[in-house]
Chains A and B, each alone.
Chain A
Amino acid sequence: MKQQLFEDRYAPFWRVFAERLELLEQRRDRPDAVLATAAFPAAYRQLCQQLAIARAREYSPLLLERLNQLALRGYQQLYRTRPGRLPAILSFIAEDFPKLVRREARLFWCCCGLFWLPLLGMGYAVHSHPALIYSLLDPDQVAHFTTLYQPEAQAGDRPAAGDVGMLGYYIYNNISIGFRTFAAGILGGIGTLFILLFNGLFLGAVGGYLTAQGLGAVFYPFVVGHSAFELTGILLAGVAGLKIGLALVAPGRFTRIQALREAATSGVRLLYGVVVLLLLAALIEAFWSSNRALPVTLKYTVGAAGWLLLPLYLLLAGRRGA
């Protein structure tokens, strides 16, 4: 069959098919779009056959390009994934996330070591020799932290903005750090290692210095409330980052690209949980930790509860279903 005859025969079909595609692409829930959906797969298969014939007969590139575009758009309408949202989110929090964390237990302990050992070591060192803090922070930063946790400083002196203002800032800052900790992992894990080590040293230095200056009574009640969620969140972002880094360094039986994809897919699921943890931490930090009117013992109690409940949740949740 010559090309002209072929085109004349199928042109009306292609026009109808293109119109259906337009409908489907604009909105999937309009009634006429639904009508179009019913007959769509059959029409798509016909189009595939026409494209195959046109290729085999070596019709002109312009015609093949047209048919290819139509088939590609049809393919994309037919093969899309539409999972349900809310139930998935709930079961993710109740079961899947703790399971994911437990599956990565070894990496998690690695991250803990990478973060907590420098933190404790640096804290001890700076506590003994406060001048050591200048090896990591410049004098302006040190002065900033010192004024931040002065006992006489009242709520108005806190860095800006009131509770809601700080909530926005904490969300932006902390979750961005979490995301970067993950993303840096694609550089063979080195970026994530660096971020974990550096944050451990930094927080250790600040904590040790403030304690040595006698400001611990202000500092610890402030950080204790949200620390469990924030630090665990960042550590789990580190787990996700090291996971993709390791996939590149030691892909095992997969090719590096395959291993990377697998790791990124489960890493990003881990990261959804990290977002939840860090949101929680930001809420506590903005509305609870910053409130100096609350009694110190209450703050320590709540902080301890966080450190008790979060590990229990990660350790036990979702075991029955497994």
Chain B
Amino acid sequence: MLPPAELLDTLRAVETPEGITLELRLAGPAPRALAWLIDSLIKYAVLLGILLGLGFLGETGIGFWFLSLFLLEWFYPVLFEIYWNGATPGKKAFALQVINDNGTPVDESASVIRNLLRAADFLPLFYCFGLVSMLMNREFKRLGDLAAGTVVIHRERPSEPIPLPAGPLRRPLFPLSLAEQRVIIDFGERSATLNPARQAELAELLTALYSERNADAVAALLANARWLRGEQG
């Protein structure tokens, strides 16, 4: 039985031959649906463009149009997934990426499988089966993903480290466990993204460490964070 925190998590761990585990952040139905919407718009825009562009070719133009319809409908995602780092333009817009569920880039066979089975995911209408399948397994796989062994993950560019606000260093009042130290450093690194009221609210939870209130508590906590992180004074 997994601890509750892990049951709720969308992280998936993959072990590599180097003996480390990589963490994949799985993408749920909502961003994927939006990405699909963008891709659909692009496809229809291209088809409309081809229709207008080839109209003067008459019957031959119609033939090419059907050919493009066929290729776009079935192979538009395959092409991008194989040659553009696993992401169609829609997925790229939402920083999503298709990969094999062992963490390697999606290969041709898997990409073809997951995109042909789109036809089954789409049934009976608007990806009903796909959605049900995504909600029924831990990795948000639609039927095509199940058969191909692929997952869709969030791919964020790592942000540059945010330096802790400069200030005095202070050793905590008593020795802290690794997990506790980690929480305090994490607070320091994220403090720039929190507003002062929220910072104070969080800092005041640690009554065992501080008698200070409000901004003073925050300052004390940041001083601890700097010390724990090993900054030089």
Chain A contacts to B: CB under 8 angstroms: 1-5, 7, 18, 25, 44-45, 48, 51-52, 55, 57-63, 65-66, 68-72, 75-76, 79-81, 83, 160-162, 164-169, 171-173, 175-176, 179-180, 182-187, 191, 244, 257, 260-261, 263-265, 267-269, 271
Q: A186-B120, A264-B147 are in contact. Are A2 and B228 (CB under 8 A)?
A: yes
Bound-state Cα–Cα, A268 to B109, Å: 7
The stretch that binds A, out of B181-189, B196-204, B215-223, is B181-189
Question: Is the pair A183, B117 in contact by a Cβ cutoff of 8 Å?
Answer: yes
Interface centre among A76, A79, A166, A171 (most CB of B within 10 A): A76
Q: Which residue from A3, A68, A180, A187 sits with its C-beta under 8 Å from B22?
A: A68
**How many Å lie between the Cα of A187 and that of B64 in the bound state?**
33
Q: Are B116 and A62 in contact (CB under 8 A)?
A: no
A169 touches B63 (CB 8 A): yes
Q: Are B66 and A271 in contact (CB under 8 A)?
A: no
What are 20 contact pairs spanning A and B, CB under 8 A? A2-B229, A60-B182, A62-B162, A68-B23, A69-B158, A70-B158, A72-B22, A83-B108, A161-B59, A161-B63, A169-B63, A172-B66, A172-B69, A172-B73, A176-B74, A185-B120, A187-B123, A263-B147, A265-B113, A267-B113
| Complex CA distance for A268 and B107, rounded to whole angstroms | 13
B105 at the A/B interface (Cβ < 8 Å)? Answer: yes
Q: A52-B19, A264-B147 are in contact. Are A80 and B120 (CB under 8 A)?
A: no
The reply on B9 being an interface residue by CB < 8 A is: no
Pick the residue among A59, A61, A80 that contacts B104 (CB under 8 A).
A80
| A60 CB contacts on chain B under 8 angstroms | 182, 185-186, 189, 229
- For chain B, the bracket of interface size reads 35 or more
Q: Roughly how many angstroms separate A166 CA and B59 CA in the complex, as a whole number? A: 8
Question: Is B44 interfacial (CB 8 A cutoff)?
Answer: no
Chain A residues near B16: list those with CB within 8 A.
48, 71, 75
Complex CA gap A182/B113 in Å reads 10
Distance in angstroms between the alpha carbons of A260 and B117 in the assembled complex: 12
From B18, B62, B64, B118, A183 is in contact (CB under 8 Å) with: B118
- Decide: A176 and B182 in contact? CB cutoff 8 A: no
Interface on chain A toward B: helix, strand, loop, or mixed SS?
helix
Contact A4–B232 (Cβ < 8 Å): yes
Complex-state Cα separation, A59 to B230, whole angstroms: 11
Tell whether A268 pairs with B116 under 8 Å between CB atoms, given A48-B18, A76-B103, A172-B69.
yes
Query: Shortest CB–CB separation between residue B177 and chain A, in angstroms?
Result: 9
Name the distance in Å between B59's Cβ and chain A's nearest Cβ.
4
Q: State whether A176 and B112 are in contact (beta carbons under 8 Å apart), knowing that A63-B161, A69-B158 are contacts in the complex.
A: no
Alpha-carbon distance between A45 and B232 when the two chains are bound, in angstroms: 30
Q: CB distance B63 to A48 under 8 Å?
A: no
- B153 to chain A: closest CB distance in Å? 9
Question: Bound complex: CA of A171 vs CA of B67, how far in Å?
Answer: 7
CA distance A83 to B109 in the complex (A): 11
Query: A179 is contacted by which of B58, B116, B186 (Cβ under 8 Å)?
Result: B116
B35 at the interface (CB under 8 A from A): no
Nearest CB to that of A67 among chain B residues? B158
The smallest C-beta distance from A23 to any residue of chain B, in angstroms, reads: 13
Is the pair B182, A58 in contact by a Cβ cutoff of 8 Å?
A: yes
Chain B residue with the shortest CB-CB distance to A257:
B146
User: Which residues of chain B are within 8 angstroms of A5 by Cβ–Cβ distance?
Assistant: 230
Q: In the bound complex, do residue B228 and residue A165 qualify as a contact, i.e. CB atoms below 8 Å apart?
A: no
Q: Does B40 touch A at the CB level, under 8 Å?
A: no
Bound Cα distance from A244 to B112, whole angstroms:
15
Please, which residue of chain B has its CB at the minimum distance from the CB of A175? B70
**In the complex, which residues of chain A have a beta carbon less than 8 angstroms from the beta carbon of B70?**
168, 171-172, 175-176
Docked complex Cα distance between A257 and B150 (Å): 12
Having A66-B158, A68-B23, A81-B107, one finds 19 other A-B pairs with CB under 8 Å, namely A2-B230, A4-B230, A59-B185, A63-B161, A79-B105, A80-B104, A162-B63, A165-B66, A168-B66, A171-B67, A171-B70, A172-B67, A180-B119, A183-B119, A186-B120, A187-B120, A260-B147, A264-B147, A268-B109
Chain B contacts for A48, CB-based, 8 A: 16, 18-20
Which residue of the partner chain A has the closest CB to B68? A168
Contact B65–A58 (Cβ < 8 Å): no
Complex CA–CA separation, A45 to B16 (angstroms): 11
